[in-house]
Amino acid sequence: MTDQVPPADRLAEDREGIGLAASSVARPAAVQSVGQLALHEEPVSVPSDRRLAYEAGVELEARSQWTYVRIRFFHHRLAVASLVVLILLALVAIFAKQLAPYQYDALDLDNIAASPTLEGTHWFGTDFLGRDYLSRVIYGVRTSLWVAVFVAALATAIGTAIGAIAGFYGGHVDNLLMRVTDLVLTVPGLAVLLTAAVFLGAGDTKVDVGPVSVTIPQPMKIGLILALLFWTSFARIVRGLFLSLREKEFVEAAKAAGASDLRIIVRHILPNCVGPIVVTMTLIIAIAILTEAALSFLGFGIQPPQAALGKLIAEGQTEGFALWWLVTFPGLAIVIVCLAINFVGDGLRDALDPTQRRTRA
């Protein structure tokens, strides 16, 4: 039945023509049932399980799609545990100033190159300058998470907007998008990132926009570079979803009801793309953390004295491998954050898949 519906763009061309007439004939069943509901007082199409429950005297709670999502997610134990870990880490990052035992650049010259110990206050040890590594790691996580969330938000916004427009309208916009994607695919990603990082330079940048002077802090600059590379994954996914969704009956119905293009895109199609977008976001956050760490490690990312996990590891490398804790702890922090994000993403993928009615036992 659905196969008979002509593509939406053809429908748009002959709105009063045969296309629309044919499609409304093509699905009489749905039209009729709606008609009956409107005409008769008596509810004809009450869901049978609800009626059965009513007759048995049982209260049946209606479950929305989101309830199912929540139930399925909370049955994925690893994902829930990871979410808890992530929330805790985020809280530590947000309240770093209150929680960190020392300032990240404070020197404790009585305890230089101290190995990790649970007795004193330097749980993760100190470096050759006596800087407390627990505090530095906490501030590093703060920087990393900040960059990652910024990248994910920006890349999602750009990618979704472009993907939606390309997928909905097709034609030239779509062509242009695919060409840009090809460009990004052809050039080695890390090379672009490194070149762009050199291009934008180290430290904070002052940008004069007319009379206003805006200072872009360095983590935000790294975030901008990463977002400019990562938006393509969102654009491609959203474009694909829009290409298939724009042919669906509910879009046709919205068009027939006179909805504007913007309304159809935002209110009708976009909510159906939330699942894949959210899952891609988790993937991008993890990749952004790993890439930012690699950039900072190579010396093209965040510069000292600001604490970034990649930079901390690089400092550990230059200070010699005998101080193993300088390399170990920042790296472990990255692994834990990325692992937790990936597990949450895995749980969300299962939970947000509407074809999966079964909840995990």
Partner 1 sequence: MLTYVVRRLLYSVVVLLAASFIIFSFVSLVSDPLAFLKMTPNVSEQTIKNLEERKHLNDPIPVRYVYWVKDAVTNQFGTTSRHDRPILPDLWRVMKNTIQLVVVAELLAILIAVGIGVYSALRQYSAFDYTATTFSFLGLATPVFWLALMLQVMVVNIYGWTGHRIFPISNLNSVDPGSGLSFAIDRAHHLVLPVIVLMVASIASYSRYMRASMLEVVNADYVRTARAKGVSERGVMMRHAFRNALIPLVTVVALNFGALLGGAVITETVFALDGMGLYFVNALGVGDPYPIMAWLMVTSTLIIVFNLVADIAYGYLDPRVRYD
- Between residues 114 and 164, which has the closer beta carbon with respect to partner 1? 114
In the bound complex, what is the minimum distance in angstroms from residue 359's beta carbon to partner 1?
17
Size of the site for partner 1 (CB under 8 A): 40
**Best CA proximity match to 143, nearest among 293, 358, 315, 324:** 293
The answer to whether the beta carbons of residues 108 and 100 sit under 8 Å apart is no
Selected from 153, 158, 192, 216, the binder of partner 1 by CB under 8 A is 192
Selected from 37, 183, 253, 274, the binder of partner 1 by CB under 8 A is 183
- Between residues 192 and 224, which has the closer beta carbon with respect to partner 1? 192
Selected from 17, 201, 203, 304, the binder of partner 1 by CB under 8 A is 201
Please give the Cα distance from 91 to 237 (Å, whole number): 31
Binding flag, residue 140, partner 1 (CB under 8 A): no
Q: Which of residues 339-358 bind partner 1 (CB under 8 A)?
A: 339, 342-343
Bridge partners, 84 (sequence order)? none
What is the DSSP code string of 63-119? --HHHHHHHHHHH-HHHHHHHHHHHHHHHHHHTHHHH-SS-TT-B-TTSTTPPP-SS
Helix (H) / strand (E) element for 190: namely helix 189-200
Binding flag, residue 281, partner 1 (CB under 8 A): no
Among the residue ranges 65-73, 134-142, 177-185, 349-357, the one whose residues contact partner 1 (CB under 8 A):
177-185
In the bound complex, what is the minimum distance in angstroms from residue 139's beta carbon to partner 1?
18
Selected from 5, 89, 273, 327, the binder of partner 1 by CB under 8 A is 327
Binding flag, residue 298, partner 1 (CB under 8 A): yes
Binding flag, residue 361, partner 1 (CB under 8 A): no
The answer to whether the beta carbons of residues 233 and 180 sit under 8 Å apart is no
Is 58 buried (19+), middle (13-18) or exposed (0-12) by CB count in 10 A?
exposed
Binding flag, residue 133, partner 1 (CB under 8 A): no
Selected from 279, 286, 351, 352, the binder of partner 1 by CB under 8 A is 286
Residue type, 213: S
Binding flag, residue 313, partner 1 (CB under 8 A): yes
Binding flag, residue 303, partner 1 (CB under 8 A): no
Selected from 20, 149, 190, 278, the binder of partner 1 by CB under 8 A is 190
Among the residue ranges 8-16, 190-198, 207-215, 234-242, the one whose residues contact partner 1 (CB under 8 A):
190-198
Binding flag, residue 65, partner 1 (CB under 8 A): no
Binding flag, residue 37, partner 1 (CB under 8 A): no
Among the residue ranges 37-45, 119-127, 217-225, 326-334, the one whose residues contact partner 1 (CB under 8 A):
326-334
The answer to whether the beta carbons of residues 230 and 158 sit under 8 Å apart is no
Binding flag, residue 5, partner 1 (CB under 8 A): no
Ramachandran assignment for 356, one of left (phi > 0), alpha (psi -120 to 50 degrees), beta (any other): beta
Bridge partners, 214 (sequence order)? 207
Please give the Cα distance from 227 to 288 (Å, whole number): 9
Binding flag, residue 359, partner 1 (CB under 8 A): no
Please give the Cα distance from 139 to 287 (Å, whole number): 20
User: How many CB atoms are located within 10 Å of the residue 94 CB?
Assistant: 13
**Best CA proximity match to 234, nearest among 162, 145, 148:** 162
Among the residue ranges 87-95, 110-118, 150-158, 181-189, the one whose residues contact partner 1 (CB under 8 A):
181-189
The answer to whether the beta carbons of residues 143 and 168 sit under 8 Å apart is no
Q: Which positions lie near partner 1, rule CB under 8 A? A: 179, 182-183, 185-188, 190-192, 194-196, 198-199, 201, 286, 290, 293-294, 297-298, 300, 310, 313, 316-317, 321-322, 324, 327-328, 330-331, 334-335, 338-339, 342-343
